[in-house]
Amino acid sequence: MAIFLDHNSTTPCLPEVWDAMRPWAVESWANPASAHSPGRAARRALETAREEIASFVGAWPDEVVFTSGATEANALALAGLKPGDLVASSHLEHPSIRENLLALATKGILVHWLPKAERGIISPADWADLCPKVPNLQVVTLAGHETGAIQDLATLRQATASRHGEPGHWHLDATQAVGKIPVDFHRLEASTLSFSAHKFFGPKGVGALLARRGTTLTPLLHGGGQQQSRRSGTEPVALAVGMAFALRLAVTDMATRHEKCLALRDRFKTALESAGPWHILGPDTSGLSHVLLIAFPGVRADMALMALDLEGVACSAGAACSSGSMLPSPALELLGVPKEHRRSVIRFSMGPFLTGDEVTRAGEMVAKVIRRLRGAGA
């Protein structure tokens, strides 16, 4: 079995999460909108899951809107933008935000893109100067899916308020943050926040958008009026229960998992020492503990990934959530990566259930493959 170093793309659903879900998928499988006794039981399970998730991320239960994942949650957060609205964002964002904003720009939305972000960290001064007035919406990824950089939202809000007289409205993509670092929706003071269960060892196919009380959402789906008409469609009770259970485990074990990933990352870097020149593009110590975005000058990332796959090491090229794309990420320009090195970038993201020996073997294999490709001029 491959040594999986691509946990930013997805994580395995833990067996105990499946166990928590199974009764609501196999035994008590009624529609939670039904008025009969089985339906009411399903509704209670769904609302209990909503309450638990809210408690883990500093929100009220009625602020939790279940979605199919973070991609849908991001689209729902952006759906209310109108022609003429001003948006501040950056190419650090996941494609589910970046591509939505590019599409909206063709319909009259004015998007101002941040020109640079050293090591993936947004400068408050650069952010405040990005727009001539307070934007209608400011869109920021709380923890970077490529670099692992964690943004200081309080400082960014303060910079916007100092420049424009008010902090404005914010949408946060917290897909890589929830379950890995503490996230408190109310303290962050965002209007909306998105995340997805499969990033913290929960099931695929379910995520959530947190929408602060008083925030108006423009529905993407119309029909049965579920979830206060913000997201119509039969709610997936089993998936919601699994999401809540996985998040409880992630929050409870957060400190332990963090320390484990730090130790694994250090072992991996040690094993890479014989690879020749390489350098980390994101924050080495202040970001997410499990992520390394590394440039290997003189080596094509697509060739390295194929060679590593054959050797039993799974990793990705930069942002790998774009249907297996191996094209250089737009974020690399913001990071100041020279154009000739942008096809040499590989992302490694550890998981807390890997062993130290596995990570060492993977690092040694990466070093071996990089040396071989450099020798072959690839």
Domain boundary pick from 251, 278, 310: 251
Looking at the structure, tell me whether residues 30 and 127 fall in a common domain: yes
User: What is the DSSP-derived secondary structure letter of residue 132?
Assistant: S
Query: What pLDDT does residue 378 have?
Result: 56
Tens digit of each residue's pLDDT (9 = 90 or more) over 90-147: 999 999 999 999 999 999 999 999 999 999 999 999 999 999 999 999 999 999 999 9
Looking at the structure, tell me whether residues 204 and 242 fall in a common domain: yes
Looking at the structure, tell me whether residues 177 and 273 fall in a common domain: no
Do residues 92 and 146 make contact, with C-beta atoms less than 8 angstroms apart?
yes
Radius of gyration of the chain (CA): 21
| HSE-CB for 349 with a 13 A CA cutoff | 25
- Please state the domain count of the chain: 2
**How far from the centroid of its chain's Cα atoms is residue 356's Cα?**
25
Can you read off the two tokens belonging to residue 37? 């006794």
Looking at the structure, tell me whether residues 216 and 329 fall in a common domain: no
DSSP secondary structure string, 160-214?
Answer: HHHHHSS---EEEE-TTTBTTB---HHHHT-SEEEEEGGGGT--TT-EEEEE-TT
Looking at the structure, tell me whether residues 154 and 260 fall in a common domain: no
Mean predicted confidence (pLDDT) in 268-291: 93
Confidence of residue 326 (pLDDT cuts 50, 70, 90): low
Listed in sequence order, the residues at least 6 apart from 40 whose beta carbon sits closer than 8 Å to its beta carbon are 34
Query: What pLDDT does residue 110 have?
Result: 97
Tens digit of each residue's pLDDT (9 = 90 or more) over 57-75: 999 999 999 999 999 999 9
- Amino acid (one-letter) located at 376: A
Looking at the structure, tell me whether residues 7 and 109 fall in a common domain: no
Domain boundary pick from 251, 282, 303: 251
| HSE-CB for 199 with a 13 A CA cutoff | 25
Question: What CATH number has the domain bearing residue 227?
Answer: 3.40.640.10
CA dist 156 and 195 (Å) reads 21
- Summary mean pLDDT of the chain: 94
CA dist 355 and 162 (Å) reads 47
Looking at the structure, tell me whether residues 192 and 320 fall in a common domain: no
Q: Is the confidence at residue 376, as pLDDT, over 80?
A: no
Mean predicted confidence (pLDDT) in 323-345: 81
Looking at the structure, tell me whether residues 105 and 157 fall in a common domain: yes
Do residues 204 and 57 make contact, with C-beta atoms less than 8 angstroms apart?
no
Reported as type and span, the H/E element at residue 279 is strand 279-280
- Which residues constitute the domain of residue 329? 3-12+254-375
Q: Is the confidence at residue 322, as pLDDT, over 70?
A: no
Query: What pLDDT does residue 63 have?
Result: 98
Looking at the structure, tell me whether residues 178 and 222 fall in a common domain: yes
Listed in sequence order, the residues at least 6 apart from 150 whose beta carbon sits closer than 8 Å to its beta carbon are 142, 143, 144, 177, 181, 283, 286, 287, 288
**Is the pTM above the cut of 0.85?**
yes
Looking at the structure, tell me whether residues 62 and 149 fall in a common domain: yes
Domain boundary pick from 231, 251, 271: 251
Tens digit of each residue's pLDDT (9 = 90 or more) over 177-212: 999 999 999 999 999 999 999 999 999 999 999 999
CA dist 347 and 148 (Å) reads 10
Confidence of residue 325 (pLDDT cuts 50, 70, 90): low
Looking at the structure, tell me whether residues 343 and 268 fall in a common domain: yes
Do residues 136 and 81 make contact, with C-beta atoms less than 8 angstroms apart?
yes
Mean predicted confidence (pLDDT) in 29-37: 96
Looking at the structure, tell me whether residues 171 and 36 fall in a common domain: yes
Confidence of residue 340 (pLDDT cuts 50, 70, 90): confident
Lowest mean pLDDT among 60-74, 89-103, 276-290, 310-324: 310-324
Question: What CATH number has the domain bearing residue 263?
Answer: 3.90.1150.10
CA-nearest of 3, 17, 4, 5 to 197 is 17
User: What is the DSSP-derived secondary structure letter of residue 27?
Assistant: I
Active site residues: 321
